[in-house]
Structure 1
Amino acid sequence: MLRLCILFLMFCFVSPVSNAKTINWLTHDFAPYYILNGQYQHQGRDESIISLLEKQLPAITFNQIIIPSGKVIQELSNTSNNTCALSLYKNDYRKKHIYFTDESSTTGLSPSVAMHSKLADALELPDATEVSLLDLIRDKKLTLGISMSRSYGKEIDSVINTTPDIDLVIRPTRDSLASLTYMLNLKRIDILLGYPSEHYYLAKLMNFDKNLTQRPLIESPALSYGFIGCTKNEQGAKDIAMLNEQLKVIKKTPAYNDVLMRWLPEHLRPLLQERIEK
């Protein structure tokens, strides 16, 4: 009997189940990064990258916690928790409260403008050609749609906020980009500002993707980077170091590259590939 008890205790200490560790991922309902329902469920860019990391770490349990997007930074900053999140913007203020990977977890094209294909043809704007937002709204007098309280980068924000007499349509609702995409298809606005993958996903979901096209902006940086962030405590330091090493591995795989391209229109995929490889 004593021998059986000793064997049982030894099993408990070495069992991978009893020693299994969990990473709690903060996720939110924001397609095409996380797609929680519908025909493209679980095909989101960020949730797919979490899945690639999970395959690299079979001894660790990945648990996804859905919270409002506005609470992600607040939750990560709570040192009594142990949580991580993907695809975060990294700045000096956030680094005081959150551990970040050195390796980027996501790389994408910066904000672009969506427009009707016929308008792009009329303006003689070839596929993947960079255009000037200032020229479109000031000189060509096009009506621009934007989501309220969203930043698009210093230069673009400055163009919007300092250019006088522009025709601007602002939508404040939670689904503002979807509402604006619908307006764009109906030609109630001329151009729509947002990220390329968001434009493409919404247009595809609404069956407008054959009508609409996108152009990158001169005023945007070439690429937009996201990083993994984890709670700034002892466990968070271990998690961030481990995840940083695994990002180096998955970023060399075709599967990772496919995920980055998944929600980009065909004509912008070569542009992203070219910019990544520079």
Structure 2
Amino acid sequence: MRFSWLILLVCVFLSTKCNARTIKWLTHDFAPYYIISGPNKSQGRDESIISLLEQQLPHITFERVIIPSGKVIQELANLQSNACALSLYRNKYREERVYFTHQSSTAGLSPSIAMHTKLSSALDIEDAKPVSLTNLLVNKKLTLGVSMNRSYGSEIDKIINTTPGINLVIRPTRDTLSTLTYMLNLKRIDILLGYPSEHYYLAKTMGFTDDLTQRMLTEAPEISYGYIGCTKNEQGAEDIATLNQQLKLIKQTEDYKQILTRWLPSHLKPKLEAHLQ
């Protein structure tokens, strides 16, 4: 009798263990989305959203793996590797290879330019007023700093790649934005292209917040959305369905809204908050 109960307990244990579910998240060393070290460690936007989902799904184990951001889609497209990633752009090429949530996982302000506060004053650019990148490059002859092999949206990319006679400084180094932000503070470039939370985080951590400011661009849409992508197999379909449902719930919370605006300067927070109601 005791032996029968022992067998039953072993079977239950093995069944539970075999049926345990894990979601492997692909993350990166890329502040302010993932902050791997320093005083703001684990306060990145995207990693904090993953933590909110983890709290909602205590029966699922969340495993985090750090890989280069340029290899995320390649890893997700590997049918032998079950994984998910947060805050991805959806396009036809990716949707052929990866499952995506219908619910957006993140929302952020579209590309902006950072510049010296003295330059913004000299150009008489108001805080809340978007500026034309084309005008700054073609008419004002300002020098623009950009990261190599990075997309900023079709319209902005077109301006950078096809406008003749503009002054560009392109940096391919690993810490591209940090290098360019340092150059901007030294006035070796006039304006720097990136995303608002990136500009603010770097200026803050490098001690340049009083010297640098940023402006939205008329050529870019106001908001950019990111989605969760998972491997296009049976487990990926199950994970996407679960995560899509949980996104509906966490997007109604104040914690979610605070995370999305955490690394924005005060004058730009209302622009994003208006889309999070």
TM-score in same-fold range (> 0.5): yes
Q: How does 1:1-278 map to 2 (within 5 A)?
A: 1-9=2-10, 11-12=12-13, 19-277=19-277
Secondary structure of 2:202's counterpart equals helix
Task: Give the distance between the partners of 1:169 and 1:235, measured in 2 at CA.
Answer: 44
Shift of 1:10: 6.0
Please give the per-residue CA displacement for 1:84-103, whole angstroms capped at 9, x wherever unaligned. 00001111111111100000
**Shift of residue 161, structure 1, vs aligned partner:** 2.1
Is this contact kept in 1: 2:49–2:256, CA < 8 A? yes
Deviation at 1:157, TM superposition (A): 1.3
User: Structure 2 regions of 5+ residues with no counterpart?
Assistant: none
Shift of 1:3: 4.2
Gap change, CA 1:276 and 1:219, over 3 Å in 2: farther
**Partners of 2:235 and 2:118 in 1: how far apart?**
54
CA deviation after TM superposition for structure 1 residue 210, in Å: 1.5
Q: CA deviation at 1:114?
A: 0.3
Q: Take 1:69 and 1:168, find their aligned partners in 2: how far apart are those partners? A: 24
- Compute the TM-score of the two structures, normalised by the length of structure 1: 0.95
Instruction: Count how many residue pairs are aligned between Structure 1 and Structure 2.
Output: 276
| Aligned 8 A contact 1:108 1:224 in 2 | yes
- Cα distance in 2 for residues equivalent to 1:6 and 1:150: 58
The alignment's TM-score, normalised by the length of structure 2, stands at 0.96
Q: Following TM superposition, by how much is the alpha carbon of 1:169 offset from its aligned partner in structure 2, in angstroms?
A: 1.1
Shift of 1:272: 1.0
Q: 1:42 to 1:249 in 2, by over 3 A?
A: same
1:172 positional shift: 1.4
Q: Is the contact made by 1:222 and 1:275 (CA closer than 8 Å) also made in structure 2?
A: no
In structure 1, C-alpha distance between the alignment counterparts of 2:215 and 2:272, rounded to whole Å: 13
Query: Quick one: which amino acid aligns to residue 119 of structure 1?
Result: L
Instruction: Give the residue type in structure 2 aligned to 1:28.
Output: H
Contact 1:128/1:271 (<8 A) preserved: no
Shift of 1:9: 3.8
Segments of 4+ in structure 1 off by > 6 A? none
Distance 2:138 2:251 in 1: 41
